[in-house]
């Protein structure tokens, strides 16, 4: 699947040397296909010493030299990393861009009707293609009318995985004038973007044209566009959430509208052109039709029907047109009615509160004012709109909540916003699902609580304890239970969508990608189930219980087992490589740049080369590692049973800082903005400065904290084995 010579060439190990001399090796790595590419000696050594003892359901025993072991109270683990993002389906993109029409697309559309060129989809670049000998295509992000947007790797930075987004424009026009216009439009987009510097605008790294295709190389934004968010979410976004996004959009619009020498009118504001990065920050993408404002200039209608203001149809564009499109976007986000499917300018006939009665009257009038047909009846500028947004009581409430937090921290006390008692321990990680928080508990239930108040919404009872942390995909939440089954329930109601059996208890947490649920079982297998039906696509027999959360990265499924082996499989279940630590692995591997990183009960934290599984570096702590790491900037942060939290340089494993808690740190680490959140078996949740490793605050509960905290809207949520779920100001 991945066309990469490094991975498929037989290794350069001398055939006669069963103990390769590379220091990094030292028996740490197993060949991916022992029979084919390795000497018998090495294969035999593996057989002799690495054979799993027996059917593993027991907790790993410490060896003599590893006197320190992970406390019972910290096991069995649901060691989890932060929730995976669900990649928006390409289907949405296709539909979306076929409705959106920029002039180039109009022209291409016309050509297509005339029967000449092939649709853009057929001309997609293959994974592995290199552009300019520098940008390696890793996958498709979206397909539009005039080309695709790809995820790519910049090979100019060989030591690291520098990602970028490559936006392609296929010039299929046969008419020379049309072709030139398309190229000019492309160059204009690149030119404008390259000069803009604003945190909400992705940087332009490069642009070029290869034959009939032009490319724009952009900073890669990790996250989802709001269009995908709308389709992935069940229920409505909260008013405060939409107001926050709108206020952020005001900032970037006012930057554009105040651009010198002339204002820039974005002209195609709509949910699919707004991305939300993994920090919750707004990013404006798709400057395809932005152009320098020339007052009084008339041109063709540019934009997207449904979002575009009436005057733009007459070729007039000015800053208040972007405010109209922002109003249409807010209307869409709040009402969940897609304006492209309705007659243009029909918002007045479809008031938001008819579909979503929770929106306040103040916000309704604000959106109505933005959607005024008459330009002069709207807000005068993005700044004026932002002031109006911030004076809404929903915005004031969330601002005062933030102020309270600051006060509390200054006086040294962290007070829970709410807490909720389950009937048994909460060992797994909680999961934020829109306005709900899902809590896996040993009492056999998964609870859904109102995120703001902690009020009970629903619960779903499995037949066994739930230590597995739920993963979300669209309307479904998926998790496993010690009753051996995987469950998918509707997030909003808790009603069962499907279950799928395995042959062992499930402590592993699911990872959802490519329409599949990947999850391990104590029966020693990793399973791939179809997300929609729960049908099994395949399973792969590992050497021991699979308790970690797998990760799918760059078409490799990476997971670990309790026998200390990390496996990397292709999506077709072929073993690409495997690596063996000296003792079991309960933590989940994480993928970052060129590395797969994971800690082992052998006390080491490993940085493995993600193409080969070779050890790039390793770092020894003073105890077994069961904690799943998190990456922040260029640091990898994890805990150890030696009570410390470690931050290492992800590129070479050098220690940057270490913070000592009062108990074993076995839970997964979460980093939000520049703060590390991690629980300890001493019962406390620690908030640590990610840069310096100094303590910000500590909050004590009456039980061990072994799941990963989750952060949303300035609140940190986590469970404790004292049976409670807590919501604290982050
Ligand atoms: N820099 C980026 N990083 C990550 N994803 C991006 C980036 N730019 C665009 N996307 C994704 O690709 C989609 C299409 O990109 P866009 O520039 O809007 O092209 P189109 O002209 O096809 O609408 C966006 O809706 C967004 O989901
Ligand atoms: Mg777009």
Q: Among 144-148, 160-164, 308-312, which is the least confidently predicted range? A: 144-148
pLDDT of 54 higher than 50: no
Res 713: pLDDT: 87
Q: Is the pLDDT of residue 721 over 70?
A: yes
Same domain for 278 and 206: no
Residue 41 counted as domain residue: no
Co-location of 189 and 286 in the same domain: no
pLDDT at res. 68: 61
Q: Are residues 480 and 349 in the same domain?
A: no
> 397 pLDDT exceeds 50?
yes
In this prediction, residue 147 carries a pLDDT of 79
The answer, yes or no, to whether residue 662 has pLDDT greater than 70, is yes
d(C-alpha 615, C-alpha 22), whole Å: 10
Ligand 2 center to 599 CA (angstroms): 41
Smallest CA-to-CA distance from 424 within 443, 448, 438 is with 443
What atom in ligand 1 is closest to the CA of residue 225?
27
pTM above 0.75, yes or no: no
* Domain match, 294 and 319 both: yes
Asked if residue 295 is part of any domain, the answer here is yes
Q: Which of 3, 55, 7, 2 is nearest to 33 (CA)?
A: 7
pLDDT of 118 reads: 39
**pLDDT tens, position by position, 274-298:** 999 988 899 999 885 443 323 334 4
Mutate to test the pocket of ligand 1, among 232, 286, 302 (most ligand atoms within 8 A of CB): 286
Cα(564)–Cα(51) distance, integer angstroms? 11
Give the pLDDT of residue 399: 62
Contact 115, 131 (CB under 8 A): no
pLDDT of res. 140: 94
Q: Residue 33 pLDDT more than 60?
A: no
Task: Check whether residue 435 and residue 584 sit in a common domain.
Answer: yes
Ligand 2 centre to CA of 102 (Å) is 10
268, 435, 553, 609: the catalytic one is 268
Shared-domain flag, residues 605 and 719: yes
Query: What tens digit of pLDDT does each residue of 310-340 get?
Result: 998 888 889 999 999 999 999 999 999 999 9
- Ligand 1 atom nearest to 272, measured from its CA: 25
Ligand 1 atom nearest to 227, measured from its CA: 25
Distance of alpha carbon 495 from alpha carbon 492, whole angstroms: 8
Q: Which two tokens stand for residue 670?
A: 């979460």
Given a cut of 50, whether residue 15 has pLDDT beyond it is no
What one-character DSSP code corresponds to residue 615? E
**Is the model's pLDDT at 58 over the cut of 60?**
no
CATH number of the domain that 277 lies in? 1.10.510.10
Number of domains comprising the chain: 3
Same structural domain, 254 and 374: yes
In Å, the largest CA–CA distance within the chain is 83
Ligand 1 site, CB within 6 A: 97, 100, 141-142, 144, 149, 165, 167, 202, 218-221, 225, 272-273, 275, 285-286, 288
Pairwise CA distance, residues 474 & 637, whole Å: 30
Beta carbons within 8 Å of 427's beta carbon, 6+ residues apart: 76, 77, 78, 440, 442, 467, 706, 707, 719, 721
Q: What is the pLDDT of residues 175-201, one digit of tens each?
A: 888 788 778 877 877 887 888 999 999
CA of 273 to the centre of ligand 1 (A): 7
For a mutational test of ligand 1's pocket, the pick from 88, 140, 142, 269, i.e. the residue with the most ligand atoms closer than 8 A to its C-beta, is 142
Q: For residue 510, how many C-alpha atoms fall within 13 Å in the half-sphere facing its CB?
A: 32
**CA 565 to CA 554: how far, in whole Å?**
20
Taking the C-alpha atoms of residue 678 and residue 426, their distance in angstroms, rounded to an integer, is 15
Mean pLDDT along residues 352-367: 89
CA distance 501 to 499: 7
Q: Are 507 and 586 within one domain?
A: yes
The answer to whether position 380 is within a domain reads yes
Q: Whose CA is nearest to atom 19 of ligand 1?
A: 286
Average pLDDT in the 414-419 region? 86
Q: Is 268 a catalytic residue?
A: yes
**pLDDT average, residue stretch 227-248:** 87
How far apart CA 148 and CA 201 sit, in angstroms, is 19
Q: Tell me, yes or no, whether 38 lies in a domain.
A: no
**Average pLDDT of the residues in 253-273:** 92
Asked if 153 and 163 touch (Cβ cutoff 8 Å), the reply is yes
CATH of the domain at 441: 2.130.10.10
Which-ligand-closest: CA of 102? 1
Range with lowest mean pLDDT among 396-400, 600-604, 618-622: 396-400
Determine the Cα–Cα distance for residues 611 and 613; give it in Å rounded to an integer. Answer: 6
Kindly state the percentage of the chain with pLDDT values over 90. 56
Average pLDDT, the chain: 80
* Domain containing residue 144: CATH number: 3.30.200.20
153 and 136 belong to one structural domain? yes
Ranges of beta strands (E only) in 257-313 are: 264-265, 274-277, 282-284, 291-292
How far does the centroid of ligand 1 lie from the alpha carbon of residue 274, in Å?
9
Residues 6+ apart with CB under 8 A from 91: none
The token pair at 44 is 């035999």
Q: Which of 88, 101, 149, 170 to mutate to test the pocket of ligand 1 (most atoms within 8 A of CB)?
A: 149
**Nearest listed ligand to the Cα of residue 105:** 1
User: Ligand 1 centroid to 149 CA: how many Å?
Assistant: 6
Quick one: which ligand is closest to 268's CA? 2
Is the predicted pLDDT of residue 712 greater than 70, yes or no? yes
Atom in ligand 1 nearest the alpha carbon of residue 202: 1
52 within some domain: no
The ligand whose atoms approach the alpha carbon of 288 most closely is 1
Domain limit, last residue, from 158, 188, 219: 219
Q: Is there a domain that residue 77 lies in? A: no
Give the model confidence (pLDDT) of 66-116 as tens digits.
446 666 555 434 333 222 222 223 322 222 222 233 333 332 222 222 223
Question: Which helix (H) or strand (E) element contains residue 606?
Answer: strand 604-609
Residue-level pLDDT at 652: 92
Atom 9, ligand 1: residue with shortest CA distance = 285
Angle of CA points 309, 311, 314, to nearest 5°:
125
Same domain (yes/no): 258, 134:
no
Q: Which has more pLDDT, 162 or 103?
A: 162
SS3 of 429-496: CCEEECCEEEEECCCCEEEEEECCCCCEEEEEECCCCCCCCCEEECCEEEEECCCCEEEEEECCCCCE
Average pLDDT score over residue span 590-617: 96
Tokens in use for 312?
Answer: 């733009």
Please indicate, yes or no, if residue 18 is contained in any of the structural domains. Answer: no
pLDDT of amino acid 78: 35
CB contact at 8 A, 112 and 170: no
| pLDDT higher than threshold 50 for residue 164 | yes
Q: Are residues 665 and 535 in the same domain?
A: yes
* Residue 10 maps to a domain: no
For the ranges 39-43, 386-390, 411-415, 717-721, which has the lowest average pLDDT?
Answer: 39-43
Last residue of a domain, one of 204, 219, 234: 219
Residue range 619-648, pLDDT digits in tens: 999 999 999 999 999 899 999 999 999 999
Ligand 1 atom having least distance to the Cα of 144: 22
Cβ–Cβ < 8 Å for 440, 446: yes
Nearest CA to ligand 1 atom 12: 142
Closest residue by Cα to atom 20, ligand 1, is 144
Q: Are residues 721 and 649 in the same domain?
A: yes
Average pLDDT on 130-149 reads 90
Q: What is the pLDDT of residue 122?
A: 60
Convert the pLDDT of each residue in 199-237 to its tens digit: 999 999 999 988 888 899 999 999 999 999 998 876 778
Tell me the two tokens of residue 75: 């096991």
Last residue of a domain, one of 203, 219, 235: 219
Task: Identify the pLDDT of residue 695.
Answer: 84
Domain that includes residue 121, residue range: 103-219
Phi and psi angles of residue 698, each rounded to the nearest 5 degrees, phi first: -145, 135
């Amino acid at each position: 699947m991945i066309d990469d010579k490094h991975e498929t060439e037989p290794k350069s190990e001398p055939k006669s040397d069963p103990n390769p001399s590379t220091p990094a090796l030292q028996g740490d790595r197993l060949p991916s296909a022992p029979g084919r590419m390795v000497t018998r000696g090495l294969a035999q050594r593996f057989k002799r010493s690495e054979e799993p003892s027996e059917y593993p359901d027991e907790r790993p025993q410490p060896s003599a030299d590893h006197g320190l072991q992970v406390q019972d109270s910290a096991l069995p683990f649901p060691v989890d990393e932060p929730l995976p993002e669900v990649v928006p389906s390409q289907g949405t993109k296709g539909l979306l861009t076929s409705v959106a029409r920029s002039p180039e697309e109009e022209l291409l559309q016309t050509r297509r009707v005339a029967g000449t060129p092939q649709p853009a989809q057929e001309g997609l670049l293959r994974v592995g293609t290199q552009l300019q000998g520098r940008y390696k295509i890793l996958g498709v992000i979206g397909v539009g009318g005039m080309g695709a947007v790809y995820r790519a790797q910049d090979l100019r930075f060989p030591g690291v995985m520098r990602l970028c987004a490559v936006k392609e424009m296929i010039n299929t026009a046969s008419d020379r004038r049309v072709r030139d216009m398309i190229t000019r439009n492309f160059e204009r987009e690149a030119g404008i973007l390259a000069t803009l510097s604003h945190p909400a605008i992705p940087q332009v790294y490069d642009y070029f044209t290869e034959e009939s295709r032009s490319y724009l190389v952009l900073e890669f934004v990790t996250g989802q566009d709001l269009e995908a968010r709308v389709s992935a979410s069940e229920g409505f976004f909260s008013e405060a959430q939409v107001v926050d996004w709108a206020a952020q959009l005001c900032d970037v619009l006012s930057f554009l509208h105040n651009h010198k020498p002339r204002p820039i009118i974005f002209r195609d504001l709509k949910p699919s052109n707004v991305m939300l990065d993994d920090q919750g920050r707004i990013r404006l993408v798709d400057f395809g039709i932005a152009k320098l404002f020339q007052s009084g200039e008339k041109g063709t209608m540019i934009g997207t029907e449904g979002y575009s203001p009436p005057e733009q149809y007459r070729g007039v564009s000015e800053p208040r047109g972007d405010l109209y499109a922002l109003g249409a976007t807010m209307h869409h986000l709040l009402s969940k009615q897609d304006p492209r499917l309705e007659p243009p300018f029909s918002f007045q006939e479809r008031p938001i509160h008819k579909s979503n009665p929770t929106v306040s009257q103040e916000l309704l009038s604000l959106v109505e004012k933005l959607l005024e047909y008459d330009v002069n009846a709207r807000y005068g500028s993005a700044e004026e709109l932002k002031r109006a947004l911030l004076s809404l009581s929903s915005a004031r409430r969330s601002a005062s909540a933030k102020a309270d937090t600051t006060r509390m921290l200054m006086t040294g006390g962290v007070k829970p916003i709410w807490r909720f008692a389950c009937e048994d321990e909460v060992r797994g990680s909680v999961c934020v699902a829109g306005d709900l928080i899902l809590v896996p508990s040993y009492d056999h239930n998964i609870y859904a609580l109102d995120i703001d108040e902690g009020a009970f919404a629903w619960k779903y009872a499995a037949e066994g304890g739930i230590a597995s942390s739920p993963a979300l995909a669209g309307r479904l939440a998926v998790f496993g239970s010690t009753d051996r089954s995987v469950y998918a329930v509707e997030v909003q109601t808790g009603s069962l969508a499907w279950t799928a059996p395995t042959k062992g208890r499930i402590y592993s947490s699911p990872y959802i990608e490519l329409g599949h649920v990947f999850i391990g079982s104590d029966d020693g297998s990793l399973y791939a189930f179809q997300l929609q039906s729960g049908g099994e696509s395949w399973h792969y027999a590992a050497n021991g219980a699979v308790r970690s959360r797998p990760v799918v990265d760059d078409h490799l499924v990476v997971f670990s087992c309790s026998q200390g082996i990390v496996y990397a499989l292709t999506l077709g279940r072929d073993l690409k490589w495997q690596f063996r630590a000296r003792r079991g692995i309960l933590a989940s591997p994480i993928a970052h740049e060129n590395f797969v990183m994971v800690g082992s009960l052998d006390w080491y934290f490993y940085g493995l080369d993600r193409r080969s599984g070779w050890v790039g570096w390793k770092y020894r702590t003073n105890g077994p590692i069961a904690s799943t790491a998190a990456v922040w900037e260029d640091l990898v942060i994890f805990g150890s049973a030696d009570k410390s939290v470690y931050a290492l340089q992800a590129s070479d494993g050098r220690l940057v800082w270490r913070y000592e808690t009062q108990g074993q740190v076995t839970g997964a680490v979460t980093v939000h903005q520049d703060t590390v959140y991690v629980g300890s078996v001493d019962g406390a949740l620690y908030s640590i400065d990610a840069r310096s490793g100094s303590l910000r605050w500590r909050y004590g509960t009456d039980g061990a904290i072994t799941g990963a905290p989750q952060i949303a809207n300035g609140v940190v949520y986590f469970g404790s084995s004292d049976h409670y779920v807590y919501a604290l100001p982050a």
